[in-house]
Amino acid sequence: MANDYGGPDRRRGGPDRRNPEAKTKILLVDDHALFRVGMRNILEREPDFEIVPDAEDSRSAFDMAAEHTPDIVLMDLSLPAPGGIETTQRVKREVPSAGIIVLAVSEDEDQLFDAIKAGAAAFILKDVGPDDLVTIIRRVSAGEYLINDKVFAKPSVAGRVLKEFRELAVYGQEAAPIFAPLSPREVEILDNIAQGMTNKQVAYALSISEQTVKNHMSSILRKLSVNDRTQAVVYAMKQGWIRVPED
């Protein structure tokens, strides 16, 4: 069977900025212990992968993500309440630089749509082959958003995406955000940076760690495909996402 994930590079945010010698840290999130063990056994064979302690529910997923700041999160969409989608949103807020690959049991269009809104980088089925899974992880780690391919392959989902894009353009903040370039927290951070604050000052103002600010900035640069914070600020001001600094 042909590999569906070995196609041309569709990176978002430019080249991989990670240290090529650094291992890709992966967090496994699934409520079935046997599945986690099987995934771990597959992924630990790869010399460039590092599997951090796994998680069995939303709370442990959030805690492990905060503690280990993984590069990749393999997220079971069928987690017990609050569920995989909400857990994806929470983890993405805590570690915005992480690429989240959601694992589903079927090609459910509602789940795909919700995964897009939650910020997932890829949507795959749980019966994915080991080689394909490794390829997908490497591509997401390099900055690709494979979930885009799923959208283009499903006209009904693409239609819903376009509809919400139009509503966002017409109604602004009153519309439900989809594919929001920046999360509310990222906009808040960029707004403070536009006012001349350092990372340390932003961290103090928002009661978060300086490392969290740095993680958010890495995500902002990747999402906007810019090279530095100045370019990010200028771009965000042109889009009207943040206010122009006061004299």
- Please compute the mean of the pLDDT values over residues 163-182 and round it to a whole number: 49
What pLDDT is attached to residue 179? 44
* pLDDT tens digits, one per residue of 131-142: 999 999 999 998
Q: Do 38 and 137 fall within a single domain?
A: yes
Chain centroid to Cα 208, Å, comes to 20
| 13 belongs to a structural domain | no
What are residue 25's phi and psi, to 5 degrees? -85, 130
d(CA 145, CA 18): 17
What pLDDT is attached to residue 171? 43
Are 62 and 12 contacting, i.e. CB atoms less than 8 angstroms apart?
no
The amino acid sitting at 106 is: S
CATH number for the domain harbouring residue 54:
3.40.50.2300
| 1 belongs to a structural domain | no
Q: Do 132 and 34 fall within a single domain?
A: yes
Question: The domain containing residue 111 runs over which residues?
Answer: 24-155
215 is written with which tokens?
Answer: 């993680």
What are residue 83's phi and psi, to 5 degrees? 95, 170
| 176 belongs to a structural domain | no
| 14 belongs to a structural domain | no
Q: Do 39 and 126 fall within a single domain?
A: yes
pLDDT, averaged across the chain: 79
Q: Do 196 and 145 fall within a single domain?
A: no
Q: Do 63 and 129 fall within a single domain?
A: yes
Q: Do 91 and 52 fall within a single domain?
A: yes
| 3 belongs to a structural domain | no
Residue 10 in this model has a pLDDT that exceeds 90:
no
Total number of domains in the chain = 2
| 149 belongs to a structural domain | yes
| 166 belongs to a structural domain | no
152: exposed, middle or buried (Cβ count in 10 Å: 0-12, 13-18, 19+): exposed
CATH number for the domain harbouring residue 198:
1.10.10.10
